[in-house]
DNA sequence: ACCTTGACTAGAT
DNA sequence: AATCTAGCCAAGG
């Protein structure tokens, strides 16, 4: 098994690493993750990486939302429903589909 | 190799 | 508050 370290692989691993640090009951935005991973304008890449996570991943992907405090997945989709349920389980309160970043935003 | 598509965002209008 | 726009990075056609 040869180990190939492309730039894309490194970026992906940095993103995984940051996401794994978000504590329960807190949320972080795509842009915030990107910045912490050393990719200041890579918000979109974070979304792409989340989208490609294996179904059985143990990463707390549900704690990643957009800068408006909303879930970016399509409303009504199974994924959106699961994400919302997981967040509510952790004690997060939604107000009109929005999460208060002031109260629940992760401060590393 | 070229073009389009996203779990995006800050800034301008 | 609602829209637009340009910028970013990887993947897929």
The predicted model scores a pTM of: 0.94
Per-residue model confidence as pLDDT tens digits over A50-97: 999 999 999 999 999 999 999 999 999 999 999 999 999 999 999 999
* DSSP percent split of chain A into helix, strand, coil, nearest 5: 45, 10, 45
CA of A99 to C1' of B1 (A): 43
Instruction: Give the residue ranges with Cβ < 7 A from strand B.
Output: A 29-32, 43-48, 50-51, 53, 61-62, 64, 66-68, 72-73, 79, 83
Q: Name the average pLDDT for chain A.
A: 96
In this prediction, residue A2 carries a pLDDT of 73
What is the average per-residue pLDDT within A1-28?
A: 93
Q: Give the count of alpha carbons within 13 A of A20, CB side only.
A: 9
Determine the pLDDT at residue A88: 98
Q: Is the pLDDT of residue A3 over 80?
A: no
């Amino acid at each position: 098994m040869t180990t190939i370290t492309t730039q894309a692989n490194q970026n992906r691993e940095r993103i995984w690493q940051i996401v794994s640090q978000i504590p329960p009951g807190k949320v972080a935005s795509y842009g915030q993750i990107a910045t912490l991973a050393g990719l200041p304008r890579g918000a979109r890449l974070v979304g792409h990486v989340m989208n490609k996570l294996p179904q059985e991943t143990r990463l707390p992907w549900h704690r990643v939302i957009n800068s408006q405090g909303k879930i970016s997945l399509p409303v009504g989709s199974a994924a959106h429903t699961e994400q919302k349920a997981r967040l509510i389980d952790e004690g997060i309160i939604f107000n009109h589909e929005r999460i208060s970043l002031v109260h629940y935003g992760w401060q590393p």
